[in-house]
Structures are given as C-alpha cells and as structure tokens.
C-alpha cells in the first residue's frame, strides 16, 4: 500500500467537496420545482449557495435546463395562483446576492494579496548577482556571434561572385553545345 501524499489528500478532499456541492445543486433544483419557484441558473446558484459556473458545469447544466423547460411548459394557471415571488422574497434574494458578492470580493482580494506575496518571494530569491552574470554571458555571446558574422560577410560576397561566374560558364557551355549540335546537323 502506498502512502498518500498531501496532494492526494487535498485532491480527494476537493473531489468530495465538489460532489457535495453538485448534489446540493440537484436537491435545490428539485425543491425549487416542488415549491414552484422560478428557476434560472443564477437563482439555482444563489439558492444552493454555489458559484454560478457550477450550475453551468456539465452534468448539472442539463438538470437545470430540464427544470426550466418543465416550468415553461407548465400551465399558465399555476402562475396565476399566487406562485409569483413576493417583494420580501425578492429583497431576500437581493440581500443574499449582495452578501455573496461581498464574500467573492473578499476572496478575490485575499487571493490577489497571496499572489503578490508569492511573486515577491520568487523575485527576492533571484539574486541580482546571478542576473548580472547572465547578462554578461549573453552580451559576450552576442559579441562573438557579431564578430563571426563580420568574418563571414566577405565570404558571402565571394560566393555570390563565384555563383555568377558559374552561371555565366554554364550559359557559355550551353551555347557551345548548341553551336556544336547545329554544326553536326549541317554536316
């Protein structure tokens, strides 16, 4: 039996939490259908106290869409029987949404601060001496390459001159062969 690493424990914990949240969303959809509450992705997310992206996730989205379609197909008389949201309910939903936004902003700010601290720590670990040495190495390598390129330029010019001479010689040879063939045909 292999020992579980902290990463394995964390991954298993996240899987369990995800499964619980998904089940909570499905239970919320069923309850909302039974209570005749209007169903939308945002309303389900708010009622289940999960993020909106989760209700759009594969495996959940289909259930929410089916519930929305089921409500749309319900007779109009049900809506007229007092199944509309009351102002108090709407105020409660608004208060819950505001609270969720406040929590998300706090979480975002904490994550930003942690990221800044982590990046700062990484930058502190890179010493200026190592960076200076690396810049010096790259500058020296660049100088060597520029020197080699400068030495190759005359050779490039010479190669181009030789290629022109070769092309001229080939053209001359073709002309000589044509003249020779013309002379042989006349004989």
Confidence of residue 75 (pLDDT cuts 50, 70, 90): low
pLDDT tens column, 103-119:
999 999 999 999 999 88
Are 55 and 64 spatial neighbours (Cβ–Cβ below 8 Å)? yes
Q: How confident is the model at residue 102, as a pLDDT?
A: 94
Assign residue 86 a region: left if phi > 0, alpha if psi is -120 to 50, beta otherwise? beta
Residue 83, C-beta contacts closer than 8 angstroms, at least 6 positions apart: 36
Q: What is the predicted pLDDT for the residue at 23?
A: 94
pLDDT at 76 over 60: no
Q: Please count the CA atoms within 13 angstroms of the CA of 108 that sit on its side-chain side.
A: 6
Report which of residues 182 and 168 the model is more confident about: 168
Distance of CA 181 to the CA centre of its chain: 70
- Spatial contact of 28 and 48, defined as CB atoms under 8 Å apart: yes
36: left (phi over 0), alpha (psi -120 to 50) or beta: left
Greater pLDDT, 72 or 137: 137
pLDDT at 135 over 60: yes
The average pLDDT across 18-23 equals 91
pLDDT band at 139 (very low <50, low <70, confident <90, very high): very high
């Amino acid at each position: 039996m292999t020992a579980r690493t902290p990463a394995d424990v964390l991954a298993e914990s996240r899987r369990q939490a995800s499964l619980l949240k998904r089940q909570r969303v499905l239970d919320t959809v069923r309850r909302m259908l039974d209570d005749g509450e209007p169903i939308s992705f945002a309303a389900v997310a708010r009622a289940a106290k999960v993020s909106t992206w989760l209700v759009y996730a594969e495996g959940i989205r289909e259930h929410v869409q089916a519930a929305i379609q089921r409500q749309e197909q319900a007779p109009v008389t049900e809506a007229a029987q007092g199944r509309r949201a009351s102002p108090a309910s709407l105020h409660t939903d608004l208060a819950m949404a505001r609270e969720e936004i406040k929590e998300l902003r706090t979480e975002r700010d904490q994550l930003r601060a942690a990221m800044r601290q982590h990046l700062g720590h990484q930058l502190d670990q890179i010493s200026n001496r190592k960076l200076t040495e690396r810049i010096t190495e790259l500058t020296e390598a660049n100088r060597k390459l520029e020197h080699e390129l400068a030495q190759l330029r005359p050779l490039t010019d010479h190669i181009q001159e030789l290629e022109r001479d070769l092309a001229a010689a080939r053209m001359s040879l073709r002309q000589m062969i044509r003249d020779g063939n013309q002379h042989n045909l006349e004989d």
